[in-house]
Structure 1
Amino acid sequence: RDLDEWVMYYNEQRTHQGKMCSGRTPLVTLEDGKQIWKEKFID
């Protein structure tokens, strides 16, 4: 249970400072990337 809580915090609440995340959470970065991918490859 502790691991599940930590993973949820890590992916959904904690911001990242890396080049790809730019202060966003990993979940937001993933969602933004999926939208960009759809625009480039599906539409």
Structure 2
Amino acid sequence: MGKSYYYVEVESLAGETICLQLPNDLQGAMRAYRQAHPITWENLL
């Protein structure tokens, strides 16, 4: 299985929704956190 990449949806003050990929230095940390907390990892965001 390939790597998972993590994105967040952000709503600007003007009400526009933007989808942003997390920076590369946070991708590995998110993978480790998801592996350690497989049920509740989404609550982190």
Whether these two folds match at TM > 0.5 is no
Higher RCO structure (Cα 8 Å, ≥6 apart): 2
Kindly indicate which of the two structures has a greater share of residues assigned to strand.
Answer: 2
Q: TM-score, normalised by structure 1?
A: 0.36
Q: TM-score, normalised by structure 2?
A: 0.35
Kindly indicate which of the two structures has a greater share of residues assigned to helix.
Answer: 1
